[in-house]
Amino acid sequence: MTKCTRRSFLKISGVATAGVSVAATMPEQFLSWAESQEELKQVPTFCELCFWNCGLIAKVANGKVIKVDGNPLSERGRGRLCGRGNAALGSLYDPDRLKHPMINSGKRGEPKWKKASWDEALGLIARKLETIKEKHGPEAVALFSHGTGGAFWKHLLKAYGSSNYTAPSFAQCRGPRDVGFTLTFGAEVGSPEFYDFSESRYIVLLGSHLGENAHNSQVQDIIKGLDKGAKLCVVDPRLSNIAAKADHWLAIRPATDLALLLAWIRIIVTEELYDADYLKAYATGLPELKAAVQEYTPEWAEKETEIPAETIVRVAFELASRKPNVIISGGRFSAWYGDDAQRSRAIALLNALLGAWGRPGGIYLPAGGGVPEYPGLPEYPEHREDLPKLDAAYPFAAAQTTTSIRNAAISGQPHAMKGWLVYGCNLIKTMPDRTETIKAIRNLDLLVAIDILPADIIQWADVVLPECTYLERHDTLSLGKFKQFEVSLRQPAVEPMWESKPSWWITRELAKKMGLDAYFPWKDGEEYLRTRCEAGGIDFTELKQKGVISSAAKSAPYITPLNQPEFATPSGKIELYSNQLSEKGLDPVPKYTRHPQPTDGFLRVLYGRSPLHTFSRTTNNFMVTDLIPENYLWVNSKTALKLGLTNGQYVRLENRTGFKSPGTIKVRYTQRLREDCVYMVHGFGIHSREMTRANNRGIGDEEMLAGYTVDPLMGGTGMRHNFVKIVKEG
């Protein structure tokens, strides 16, 4: 940790000359520090307001964080933070935070909270977990997790004897994409993605709204690429911020992207626009692919997508003319329509045909690297081999799906499911079909929520454990595979407030109560991290000082005669035609099927991200709610006029089952959206009175969802068949 004086800080930050107007917006802590002669402590750590995990430096005075800045050493942010990252103080100093453990003495879902000591709360959880293990076996307990601290909970779960670890960020998010790419290349595109945007010469984005999706370094990279002359084609029913910068905006009819992709593949294979040498060296199945896509002509695709055939052809030729320095990306969130792994595979096929994998401006080959786990821990107990797999129906479920855990809790099939540990997940809002989620929760013997806020999920918990925020804790390391391998450290800038605690502590104390101490030998968070770093040859003192350490050697990010790629597919090659799929009775080349479109005055709900919010994580954060307090309903102006809506008017939504939204949402006229859709950002529509700024603000897209379609390959849940009517108030 380095220190700077008040004077040098004022000079660096420009505050000394900025005068009264800046002072008026400065937090109180800052002003009192500026008045004092205190030295400013600088603590490098990393952000958790989303999972990009940008390095940041917390400026601390009088025991309070007064400001955060980007850490220039971090490849994830390169000295910058996004709008959410800058709102760190709004998370840390949120007066609505969970302050002490709580036990529900009422019914599940109608909580009567009793303040509890840690000893009492953890004792109760330990007893219940023991009982579940005795009655049903350890597999009857599952962990849902999102965020860095989840690693300690996963470790606890495995030590307890269960492997039922799941996350909405798989089957409700990027799982379909990862499976589509793995089937094709034998590897995922990574997280952070290995997109070499800054060197690209042609970029196609389908339903990826980078910029609003504020993944820090990736936004910087795409802007760099565009500055250097890359062409950009954005496929989106809405003119997103990035579409506004594009050479082509293709306002596709929603749910028809696969038609467009197959037409592009057909043009590229029939006109032989592909990278022939590359395919010869690295791919198999070109003739089979060619034969399989013949029906997908541009004229056919025009009818499905409403994109003119000549535009489809033009983009294909432009794109191919810039191969192999191209990226075709379908975004990160890919659980759209139920055929999502196949749509993602079509995207992977296009990248393959144009030779983008392992090429400059394409998908680079990431640096290797890792840090060993804490040495000397006992082996996890063996899992029972005879138990039926929860995801047996999905041959390519690369991770456990949330829905099969939910189904098991409802039906007891294929085995009992009685306890849920929910870490940093707001399942009420992030799993499709709330009724099913609640049905499952009612069947449990125990639901523990580990959170920082009284979010919607808290209302369904038996025991609530308050984690301290990322600025108050040590956590596991964040490892990044970029062109260099990078290790980031989280360390506390200030002491945990109230009775909140970090996960390394909570899990250790809980483990002790279950006789699992041997798995948690660390004295404290720092000792845990130091030991792992030492085992991995990383200078922990340097890491503490810098926050981020990158490997000295650069990897070889591109294919050269001496740097040949490996593809972990059964054939060892890029699989343009997939025997793995045909062996399971699935389409070896993606096939188009038509999805329902809204009729009878219904409009499709499109959803995405606000650049200043992360789902429901920030909807109560006073630093961003000042700017964006609620979500808006984008309505095409023509549609709005037809429906007699005025700009700024509050409306309700009604879905296909007749369900009316509990909350209201403000209409926003726009010409940046197709007439058959409405658009809103996800995360609002919180119903928790204790979240005073978020409660009942706006509507959640998930509240209106009447059904979802399941991906037969990997169990992802397509959540974009969401049709609504607009209901005027009064």
Ligand X SMILES: Nc1nc2c(c(=O)[nH]1)N[C@H]1C(S)=C(S)[C@@H](COP(=O)(O)OP(=O)(O)OC[C@H]3O[C@@H](n4cnc5c(=O)[nH]c(N)nc54)[C@H](O)[C@@H]3O)O[C@H]1N2
Q: Tell me the closest approach of the beta carbon of residue 77 to ligand SF4, in angstroms.
A: 5
How many Cβ atoms sit within 10 Å of the Cβ of residue 29? 18
Chosen residue from 34, 40, 43, 54 binding ligand SF4 by CB under 6 A: 54
Amino acid at 206: L
Nearest to ligand SF4 of 209, 406 (CB atom): 209
DSSP 382: P
Residue 240, interface with ligand X (CB under 6 A)?
yes
- Dihedral pair phi/psi, residue 284, rounded to 5°: -130, 150
Q: Tell me the closest approach of the beta carbon of residue 217 to ligand SF4, in angstroms.
A: 8
Q: b or e along 657-680 (b: 16 or more beta carbons within 10 Å of the residue's beta carbon)?
A: eeeebebbbebbbbebbbebbbbb
216 binds, among Mo ion, ligand X, ligand SF4, none (CB under 5 to 8 A by kind): ligand SF4
Closest CA to 86 of 224, 211, 214, 221: 214
- Upper half-sphere CA count for residue 535 (Cβ side, 13 Å): 13
Q: Tell me the closest approach of the beta carbon of residue 333 to Mo ion, in angstroms.
A: 5
**Which positions from 30 through 49 interact with ligand SF4, judged by CB under 6 A?**
47, 49
Q: Tell me the closest approach of the beta carbon of residue 610 to ligand SF4, in angstroms.
A: 12
Amino acid at 481: K
Q: Tell me the closest approach of the beta carbon of residue 378 to Mo ion, in angstroms.
A: 34
Residue 331, interface with ligand X (CB under 6 A)?
yes
Chosen residue from 61, 203, 255, 316 binding ligand X by CB under 6 A: 255
Amino acid at 715: G
What x/- string results for residues 196 through 235 when contact with ligand SF4 is judged by CB under 6 A? ------------------xxx-------------------
81 binds, among ligand SF4, ligand X, Mo ion, none (CB under 5 to 8 A by kind): ligand SF4
How many helical (H) and strand (E) elements, i.e. helices and strands, does the chain have? 25, 28
SS3 content of the chain, % helix, strand, coil (to 5): 35, 20, 45
- 3-state SS class at 277: helix
698 binds, among ligand X, Mo ion, ligand SF4, none (CB under 5 to 8 A by kind): none
Residue 423, interface with ligand X (CB under 6 A)?
yes
Nearest to ligand X of 116, 452 (CB atom): 452
391 binds, among ligand X, ligand SF4, Mo ion, none (CB under 5 to 8 A by kind): none
Amino acid at 555: S
Residue 93, interface with ligand X (CB under 6 A)?
no
What x/- string results for residues 475 through 514 when contact with ligand X is judged by CB under 6 A? ----------------------------------------
What x/- string results for residues 202 through 221 when contact with ligand X is judged by CB under 6 A? ----xxxxx--xxx------
Closest CA to 683 of 456, 404, 448: 456
**Which positions from 336 through 355 interact with ligand X, judged by CB under 6 A?**
336
Q: How far is CA 239 from the centre of its chain?
A: 22
CA-to-CA distance for 706 and 722, rounded, in angstroms?
7
Which residues are CB-neighbours of 303 under 8 A, at least 6 positions away?
none
Please tell me the count of residues contacting ligand X according to CB under 6 A: 64
Which residue's CB comes closest to ligand SF4? 85
CA-to-CA distance for 6 and 245, rounded, in angstroms?
41
Q: Tell me the closest approach of the beta carbon of residue 365 to Mo ion, in angstroms.
A: 24
- Residue with token string 């379609």: 709
**Which positions from 152 through 191 interact with ligand SF4, judged by CB under 6 A?**
none
Nearest to ligand SF4 of 94, 275 (CB atom): 94
Chosen residue from 333, 357, 394, 684 binding ligand X by CB under 6 A: 333
327 binds, among Mo ion, ligand X, ligand SF4, none (CB under 5 to 8 A by kind): none
Q: Tell me the closest approach of the beta carbon of residue 548 to ligand SF4, in angstroms.
A: 13
Nearest to ligand SF4 of 437, 614 (CB atom): 614
Q: Tell me the closest approach of the beta carbon of residue 88 to ligand SF4, in angstroms.
A: 8
CA-to-CA distance for 220 and 70, rounded, in angstroms?
14
Angle at 484 between CA 480 and CA 486, to 5 degrees: 35
**Which positions from 444 through 463 interact with ligand SF4, judged by CB under 6 A?**
none
Structure tokens at 384: 């029972």
- Dihedral pair phi/psi, residue 498, rounded to 5°: 50, -135
What Rg do the C-alpha atoms of the chain give, in angstroms?
26
CA-to-CA distance for 299 and 315, rounded, in angstroms?
14
**Which positions from 575 through 634 interact with ligand X, judged by CB under 6 A?**
606-611, 613-617
Residues paired with 381 in a beta bridge: none
Amino acid at 389: K
Residue 173, interface with Mo ion (CB under 5 A)?
yes
DSSP string covering 328-379, please?
EE--S---SSS-HHHHHHHHHHHHHHTT-BTSTTSBPPPPP---PPPTTPPP
Stretches 163-171, 303-311, 368-376, 491-499: which one binds ligand X (CB under 6 A)?
Answer: 163-171
Nearest to ligand SF4 of 47, 471 (CB atom): 47
Structure tokens at 410: 């409802």
Residue 210, interface with Mo ion (CB under 5 A)?
no
CA-to-CA distance for 260 and 302, rounded, in angstroms?
8
Q: b or e along 425-447 (b: 16 or more beta carbons within 10 Å of the residue's beta carbon)?
A: bbbbbbbbbbebbeebbebbbbb
Q: Tell me the closest approach of the beta carbon of residue 319 to ligand SF4, in angstroms.
A: 28
Which residues are CB-neighbours of 723 under 8 A, at least 6 positions away?
598, 602, 603, 604, 605, 655, 656, 706
Q: Tell me the closest approach of the beta carbon of residue 407 to Mo ion, in angstroms.
A: 22
Q: b or e along 351-364 (b: 16 or more beta carbons within 10 Å of the residue's beta carbon)?
A: bbbbbbbbbbbbbb
Closest CA to 550 of 70, 50, 72: 72
- Directed axis angle between helix 150-160 and helix 503-513, to 10°? 20
Chosen residue from 157, 183, 204, 453 binding ligand X by CB under 6 A: 453
Residue 289, interface with ligand X (CB under 6 A)?
no
Chosen residue from 9, 30, 33, 52 binding ligand SF4 by CB under 6 A: 52
Residue 332, interface with ligand X (CB under 6 A)?
yes
Nearest to ligand X of 207, 492 (CB atom): 207
Contacts to ligand SF4 by CB under 6 A: 47, 49-50, 52-54, 77, 81-82, 84-85, 214-216
Contacts to Mo ion by CB under 5 A: 173
Contacts to ligand X by CB under 6 A: 48, 50, 146-147, 149, 167-169, 172-174, 206-210, 213-215, 235-238, 240, 252, 254-255, 257, 331-333, 336, 423-427, 430, 450-453, 455, 457, 467, 469-470, 606-611, 613-617, 679, 682, 701-702, 719-720
